[in-house]
Amino acid sequence: MEDFMELRIGVIGTGAIGTEHIERIANKLSGAKVTVVTDVDKPRAEKAAAVCGARIEKDGTGVIASSDVDAVMVTNWGPAHAKSILGSIAAGKMVFCEKPMTTTGADAKKIVDAEIAKGKKFTQVGFMRRYDKGYLQMKEILSSGKTGKPLMIHCAHRNVAKGTEYNTPMSVNDTAIHEIDVLHWLVGDQYVSAQVLFPKQTSLTHKDLRDPQIMILTTESGILIEIEVFVNCQFGYDIKCEVVCERASVELPLASFPSVKQDAKYYTALETDWKYRFIDSYDVEIQDWINNASKGIVKGPSAWDGYLAAVTADALVKAQGSGKIESIATGPCPDFYSC
């Protein structure tokens, strides 16, 4: 392989997820190296740079402008994403951005518009569940034509516990955001309305957090989706998804663990740390991005997907407050994104 075939990546933001991606690229993946990093916290940037032998730029603008950077990875904090992505697009560089793409629908729209103006897709958003083997297998089954059309989806997103900094809107923006992206992709449909129901409150939460919640989304074709979000369930990290079709029901597999018979129980482990359930999909996601970005194309979740997620999340947060059914008006998918 020629050197120029190795994608040179600049990383903006070397916090937890940024550093994980840097280590992933250095130690497990093929065809890329991190050449430049930056972070608002200088020592943190230095630590990350040492992992991969990168040099340090003073800010994101510097990273994007670097001649030894072919593609940009945006892993700074959410409100700063839009600027880094728009800068990369302006510089004509492929960009990977961790979720959420933007913190407002308006910012997301700017990115979509910038790509359309340039006539090229640059942005992939870090919705890694689309790379999870279980969801991919579900999509294959649902696309086989044997199940009939999807009618309903029952989901649950459960975490062991969250601290007092985690509040009611975060149930949407930090938690259900994964279901928001993966479900419309799974059934090839677009959301039109959002509603939130509040079951009995668990005593194991705090005053700023309604927990659990049931979020209800409907799609253009009429599919009804309900997502139980329960972030203090105590018992484990538990992701459920059942798609009920006209002729079949399809359920997401659990994480795989040995079955144990002991102490009058027949059990498998439930994960308690959310990191492990989708750990493999991160590797596949970033390798896929490297491979495609090297060719100047986007095959994963696009800026349009980031925009849909932002608008849908806004509607759910509004519905949390209003108690009403809120509409989700994204407008039709531009031909450019061929949804």
- Beta strands (DSSP E) in 75-134 are 94-97, 123-125
| Sites for a second copy among residues 274-293 (CB under 8 A) | 280, 287, 291
As a whole number of angstroms, the distance between CA 312 and CA 330 comes to 8
**How many residues bind a second copy, per CB under 8 A?**
79
Kindly report the number of other CB atoms within 10 A of residue 233's CB atom: 20
* Residue 235 interacts with a second copy (CB under 8 A): yes or no: yes
Q: The tokens of 311 are what?
A: 């608008």
- x/- site string to a second copy, residues 48 to 77, per CB under 8 A? ----xx------------------------
b/e map 107-136, b = 16+ CB within 10 Å: bbbbbbebbbeeeebbbbbbbbbbbbebbe
* Residue 28 interacts with a second copy (CB under 8 A): yes or no: yes
| Sites for a second copy among residues 137-176 (CB under 8 A) | 137-138, 141, 146-152, 154
* Residue 96 interacts with a second copy (CB under 8 A): yes or no: no
* Residue 316 interacts with a second copy (CB under 8 A): yes or no: no
* Residue 222 interacts with a second copy (CB under 8 A): yes or no: yes
| Window of 56-64, 84-92, 165-173, 243-251 that interacts with a second copy by CB under 8 A | 243-251
Residue 158, class by beta-carbon neighbours within 10 Å (0-12 exposed, 13-18 middle, 19+ buried)?
buried
Indicate the residue type of 242. E
* Residue 233 interacts with a second copy (CB under 8 A): yes or no: yes
| Window of 68-76, 106-114, 250-258, 299-307 that interacts with a second copy by CB under 8 A | 250-258
List all residues 6 or more positions away from 198 whose beta carbon is below 8 Å from its beta carbon. Answer: 210, 213, 214
Helix, strand, or coil (residue 35): strand
* Residue 216 interacts with a second copy (CB under 8 A): yes or no: yes
| Sites for a second copy among residues 172-211 (CB under 8 A) | 197-204
**For a second copy, which is the closer residue by CB, 208 or 280?**
280
Single out the residue of 50, 257, 275, 329 in contact with a second copy (rule: CB under 8 A): 257
**For a second copy, which is the closer residue by CB, 187 or 311?**
187
List all residues 6 or more positions away from 94 whose beta carbon is below 8 Å from its beta carbon. Answer: 70, 71, 72, 88, 122, 124, 293, 296, 298
